[in-house]
């Protein structure tokens, strides 16, 4: 198979096309999903904004996305009153790359926010600065170490981190989301009726999944006495565990999923506390609340656990709920969006004046005579995982097809690296230039309409009876199409400053 890095004739064509022309070429017609009635019942001009991110929260583990367990009683009630977007993906499966994309509205390699030390670049207008400069009081509150980096807190009027423990990998042991909510409410009270924008990042659904006992027991009759420790047991003993039958139905695996679900319930309660406190302050009437996640979480769908290893659906599909009392008409939309679309959309919805034109994301509503109608962004959705000493890959979703291009891949049985070796690799890699657009070692193509689990790589079975020759030909055409799209970003990157790595953080 000819890989993009070796396709000199193809590259020659690309060099003669401007990236703007390519973007126009690849734009597709907007698909209006809002129906005949507007999605807004009143203007959101000048509203307060709260963006809530629950780390590593898979959309399909929430009741409002069809999960049978009662993990999200309160979020489900918000979803029933608000707007639920069904097909939203994160732009990375790694926290720091993904949240940087959310803050900037730019893809990781466009903004330069890539790698272990990814962080928003202060010279690029983003969430904090765009709201601060028009008079909003801005606050960031979290219990997750990665977000405590000054690259994320920069530009907010107030920020505070609620961490537990110390050392190389301090972890919250659950329940600290309540502190985030209480601090957020205090910030609002201290704002004295000024307009405010808050970013709240809750850590609990992130591993190591250590919920309080009483929350765990809402989902099982008794506490499992041999819980698997992810970093110290799963990774080093991966091959052995697989041989023992570790997986769905096996008690250690089911305990792991139960603990994850209980952590979601912990976060659900923390968000409910936030709403109770803001209700008492009477600020919710003029507030837009956006609830989402930075990425999903793997549970062996593709052979591994946690996240920041792949770009399959379980690592990318995140919830997105817009809630605003009395201003939004409840509804559900199957529009395809990604996190980079949120910032330009909320700026527009709240009518925040700005002259920034550098977003990769798009506004996903249109204003008509009777109000606002949400719709599909009408463009391919791109995700990137660019951690040079771990995994490097990109994925593109266009309509029902998904293409994955892998530059660096580590097989599941080779993913355990002792912590000290990992630190040394990071330090060594910082002195070595990284080619973010190197040759590919692996390509995959999936038809999400018939294969949502991404199990059958169409490139591995070009003559299969299941898809037929016509489908295969269409698929190969699409790959060329998407390579042009990705290479258009490569051309833009050539004029951008080199990547700068901040302080390292090891997951």
Least gap, CB of 507 to Zn ion (angstroms): 9
Looking at 91-99, 232-240, 373-381, 424-432, which segment touches Zn ion (CB under 5 A)?
91-99
Least gap, CB of 59 to Zn ion (angstroms): 14
Q: Do 469 and 463 form a contact (C-beta atoms < 8 A)?
A: yes
Number of chain residues interacting with Zn ion (CB under 5 A)? 3
Q: Which residue has the tokens 């070429």?
A: 25
Q: Does 204 bind Zn ion (CB under 5 A)?
A: no
Give backbone dihedrals phi and psi of 51, rounded to 5 degrees, phi first. -105, 120
Least gap, CB of 307 to Zn ion (angstroms): 7
Give backbone dihedrals phi and psi of 415, rounded to 5 degrees, phi first. -85, -10
Alpha helix (H) ranges present in 191-284? 213-216, 238-243, 251-280
Nearer to Zn ion, 54 or 321 (CB): 54
Looking at 52-60, 134-142, 231-239, 432-440, which segment touches Zn ion (CB under 5 A)?
52-60
Least gap, CB of 99 to Zn ion (angstroms): 7
Nearer to Zn ion, 95 or 429 (CB): 95
Exposure string for 54-88, b = 16+ CB within 10 A, e = fewer: bbbbbbebbbbbebebebbebbbbbbeebbbbbbb
Give the contact letters, 2-31, x = binds to Zn ion (CB under 5 A), - = no.
------------------------------
Q: What is the dihedral of CA 315, 54, 382, 352, to 10 degrees?
A: 170
Residues numbered 457 to 496 that lie near Zn ion (CB under 5 A) are none
d(CA 204, CA 174): 6
Q: Do 347 and 357 form a contact (C-beta atoms < 8 A)?
A: no
Give the contact letters, 312-341, x = binds to Zn ion (CB under 5 A), - = no.
------------------------------
Least gap, CB of 56 to Zn ion (angstroms): 5
d(CA 397, CA 444): 12
Least gap, CB of 206 to Zn ion (angstroms): 6
Quick one: which of 437, 421, 429 has its CA closest to 116?
A: 429
Quick one: which of 496, 502, 504 has its CA closest to 107?
A: 496
Nearer to Zn ion, 209 or 489 (CB): 209
Nearer to Zn ion, 159 or 327 (CB): 159
Nearer to Zn ion, 55 or 86 (CB): 55
Which residue has its beta carbon closest to Zn ion? Answer: 95
Nearer to Zn ion, 294 or 360 (CB): 294
Least gap, CB of 95 to Zn ion (angstroms): 3
d(CA 253, CA 303): 13
- What's the CA angle centered on 93, arms 213 and 440, to 5 degrees? 145
Question: Using the 8-state DSSP alphabet, how is residue 93 labeled?
Answer: S
Looking at 87-95, 277-285, 466-474, 490-498, which segment touches Zn ion (CB under 5 A)?
87-95
d(CA 202, CA 176): 8
Nearer to Zn ion, 306 or 444 (CB): 306
Least gap, CB of 263 to Zn ion (angstroms): 13
Residues numbered 422 to 461 that lie near Zn ion (CB under 5 A) are none
Least gap, CB of 91 to Zn ion (angstroms): 12
479: Cβ contacts below 8 Å, ≥ 6 apart = 403, 443, 445
Nearer to Zn ion, 58 or 398 (CB): 58
44: Cβ contacts below 8 Å, ≥ 6 apart = 288, 324, 327, 349, 350, 351
Looking at 94-102, 123-131, 469-477, 484-492, which segment touches Zn ion (CB under 5 A)?
94-102
Radius of gyration of the chain (CA): 22
Q: Do 432 and 501 form a contact (C-beta atoms < 8 A)?
A: no
Alpha helix (H) ranges present in 154-209? 177-190
Residues numbered 243 to 272 that lie near Zn ion (CB under 5 A) are none
Least gap, CB of 311 to Zn ion (angstroms): 14
Nearer to Zn ion, 102 or 379 (CB): 102
Least gap, CB of 495 to Zn ion (angstroms): 30
Name which position in 50, 51, 55, 62 contacts Zn ion (CB under 5 A). Answer: 55
Least gap, CB of 267 to Zn ion (angstroms): 13
Nearer to Zn ion, 204 or 294 (CB): 294
Looking at 51-59, 262-270, 340-348, 376-384, which segment touches Zn ion (CB under 5 A)?
51-59
Q: Does 95 bind Zn ion (CB under 5 A)?
A: yes
Residues numbered 275 to 294 that lie near Zn ion (CB under 5 A) are 294
Query: What's CA 246's distance to the chain center, in Å?
Result: 28
Alpha-carbon distances of 335 from 88, 291, 428, rounded to whole Å: 8, 16, 43
Query: What residues make contact with Zn ion under the rule CB under 5 A?
Result: 55, 95, 294
């Amino acid at each position: 198979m000819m890989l993009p890095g070796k396709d000199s004739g193809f590259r020659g064509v690309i060099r003669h096309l401007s990236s703007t022309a390519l973007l126009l070429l690849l734009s597709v017609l907007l698909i209006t999903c809002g129906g005949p009635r507007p999605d807004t019942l009143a203007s959101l001009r000048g509203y307060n904004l709260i963006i809530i991110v629950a780390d590593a929260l898979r959309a399909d583990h929430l009741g409002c996305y069809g999960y049978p367990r009662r993990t999200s009683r309160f979020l489900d009630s918000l979803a029933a009153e608000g707007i639920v977007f069904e097909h939203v993906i994160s732009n990375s499966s790694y926290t720091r790359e993904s949240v940087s994309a959310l803050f900037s509205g730019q893809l990781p390699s466009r903004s330069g926010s890539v790698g272990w030390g990814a962080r928003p670049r202060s010279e690029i207008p983003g969430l904090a600065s765009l709201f601060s400069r028009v008079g909003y009081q801005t606050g960031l509150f979290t219990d997750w170490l990665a977000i405590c980096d000054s690259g994320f807190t920069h530009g907010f009027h107030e920020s505070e981190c609620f961490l537990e423990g110390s050392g190389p990998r301090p972890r919250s042991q659950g329940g600290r989301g309540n502190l985030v909510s209480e601090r957020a409410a205090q910030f609002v009270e201290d704002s004295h009726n000024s307009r405010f924008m808050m970013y709240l990042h809750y850590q609990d659904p992130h591993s190591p999944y250590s919920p309080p006992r009483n929350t765990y027991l809402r989902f099982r009759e008794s506490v499992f006495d041999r819980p698997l420790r992810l970093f110290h047991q799963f990774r080093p003993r991966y091959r052995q565990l697989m041989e023992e039958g570790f997986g769905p139905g096996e008690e250690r695996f089911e305990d792991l999923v139960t603990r994850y679900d209980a952590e979601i319930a912990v976060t659900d309660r923390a968000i409910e506390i936030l709403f109770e406190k803001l209700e008492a302050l009477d600020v919710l009437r003029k507030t837009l609340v956006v609830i989402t996640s930075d990425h999903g979480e793997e549970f062996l769908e593709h052979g591994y656990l946690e996240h920041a290893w792949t770009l399959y659906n379980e690592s990318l599909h995140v919830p997105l709920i817009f809630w605003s009392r009395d201003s939004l008409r409840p509804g559900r939309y199957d529009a395809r969006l990604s996190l980079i679309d949120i910032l330009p959309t909320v700026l527009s919805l709240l009518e925040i004046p700005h002259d920034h034109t550098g977003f990769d994301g798009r506004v996903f509503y249109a204003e008509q005579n009777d109000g606002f109608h949400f719709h599909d962004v009408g463009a391919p959705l791109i995700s990137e995982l660019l951690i040079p000493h771990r995994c490097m890959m990109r994925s593109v979703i266009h309509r029902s097809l998904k293409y994955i291009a892998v530059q660096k891949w580590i097989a599941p049985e080779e993913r355990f690296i002792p912590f000290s070796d990992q630190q040394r690799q990071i330090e060594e890699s910082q002195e070595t230039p990284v080619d973010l657009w190197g040759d590919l070692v692996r390509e995959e193509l999936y038809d999400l309409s018939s294969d949502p689990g991404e199990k059958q790589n169409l490139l591995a079975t070009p003559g299969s009876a299941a898809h037929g020759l016509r489908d295969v030909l269409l698929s190969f055409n699409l790959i060329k199409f998407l390579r042009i799209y990705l290479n258009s970003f490569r051309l833009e990157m050539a004029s951008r400053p080199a990547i700068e790595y901040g302080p390292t953080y090891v997951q």
